Structure 1
Amino acid sequence: MRDDGLPRERTGDRSRRPRRRPGRRVALTAVAALALAALPVTGLVPDLPWGALDGAVAGPSDGAPPPAPVPDPLVDPVDPADRPLLVLDASGGRPVRQGDALPARVVGDAVVVLHGYTSNAAQIAERLEVPALVERLGAVAVLPTGLGHRPSWDAGTCCGSAARSDVDDVGFVAGLLDELRARGARHAYVVGYSNGGMLAYRLACERPEEVDAVAVVNATIAVDRCDGAFTALHLAGAEDRAVPVEGVDLVPYLFTGFPALADLPALAPAADLDLRVVPGAGHEVPEGAPTTVREWLATRPGPPTTDRAAVPVVAGGAAGAAGAVGAVGAVGAVGG
């Protein structure tokens, strides 16, 4: 038991306190800890009661107030060699093989796929159709799982135990990419959903030399500075209430806010961002998104262009979504 009354989650031999990040809004309340811990695993956040994701927590029908949010417990660091992996291998023309260790040799490309907050490798493999992705690219896909009871990644201001504990997830993923290249990978990509997409962005922002391109779904840039030069595909649900297209000041159960989609090019001025809004989609992986991601990666995206005007921001669907990105690009349909 820690001195603030919250439990410490043990995942290693050392304990550590998180450093404070400027501007992070944290409300330390222990009232709902047990109820929150019992919620099922989903994608970005647990299945929260009463529509908490829209930033205005409404009470239940009986008029009782909603439970106060509490942060996830801290976690201790884990040796990268001890972190579990799901590996799907279709490199060298072989059928898809599944394992838990990196192949001795990679013949073709490599993709690291990162799940959302509270999810895991197996779930994101299904939702992003990773077997079809590795078949299309003739690639190896490596799917790690984040730390914590509700697995998470330290993507900057989000999310969960990993972000609170300053887990070096950038170093962890960079190490995977280095090892995959050492074993023969020609290109190295990172694909991420939600919190996993935020980590993909953070890696590209801070270590752009590690990755040839990133593709994210329902994510955002969750760091203060993004100076890296990289190429990215970004698919955003027009009706996403967790990472809204129009941005949000504070998501109560995440203790952070997110920038508007239209602000991302200014946050990452050296990057080529192919931004697309998917009409009618919420925070789930949109129908057709896995196909769009694998066909985009199959084009072997090159280095960023210096001509920002040549990189369109594409939106589709609802007028509100189009208006959110109208200042930075044209309106069109999401496609492969």
Structure 2
Amino acid sequence: MTIKPDTPRAAIVGAGLMGRWHARAAARAGARIVAVVDTDRSSAAALSARYPGSRIASDLANIGEIATVAHVCTNVDSHAATASALLGAGLHAFVEKPLAASAAETSALLEQAAAADRLICPAHQFPFQRGVREAVDALRSVGPLLHFDFVICTAGATGEKNMASLIDTVLPHPLSLVSAFLPGSLARLKWQVLRPAPGELRAVSAFGSATVSILLSTAGRPTTNTVTLTCERGTITADLFHGFSVVESGGVSRTRKIARPLLRSAATLSAAAQNLVWRAARRQPAFPGLNELTALFYEAVGNDGPAPISPSEVREIAVARELILKSADS
């Protein structure tokens, strides 16, 4: 197999679930997977087997001689040290959310990347979903935005510590959407936060004439992941699990009121079906937006361009996340 000299060489650090999806997205973006790093050698071997020619390693020794880009898919507490080591070795870093456990660590990584002339980017993929991009466009016709409501009911965590950790990890997603739909708002929001039980969090704020609500739940069912934008001339609902959105007209009439459940169901069915075909054609079975963000990251690496998520936005999301978590714990 002949590899072009400018083909990005990617190392996957962390061979768990997200490591597998990052490897897949990197390969689709044109990278060659050259190394899989994990202290669990059996997991590293299983992932490496999918990418012939890739090496297995248990640490980052000599990683700079092997790869030009690394995907950090380890536990959150190790993100800062791992990403710093990679930047120090001369690699660009694409890091699972959150970029680091604290705002201070996030700022330090951003400064290190800038000083090293390397890119660092967290996997805040929701704003890059096709449905969210369409919702941003639709907002221009149905706005102004009055209410931003994000709801996620997620499974996969048991025990108080794991439930709390899952909530902390998910929080960057809604904050990245706040930044997308209300640009410039994150640094100015004052949050009221409720954390009535482990794995449950609601954060509320306001920006100008718009309210912002974030609900994160590990116990609520059925599982769901949506953002609803209630506007003056209509409402937009984005299904973030599947990557599509539906726009409802704001027209008022008795006929529309009677027909609304049918119209809404028909619009949702149509959007979901079209989205399923679109994703199947692109072999995108899960994590919509990750392929798009990964492709933009590699494009920036190849063209010496800026990261697809600006350092200022990354920093604002980290600060807002920390403020919410501190408020919840107080």
Name the TM-score, length of structure 1 as normaliser. 0.35
Higher helix proportion (structure 1 or 2): 2
If you compute each CA radius of gyration, which structure gives the higher value, 1 or 2? Answer: 2
Name the TM-score, length of structure 2 as normaliser. 0.35
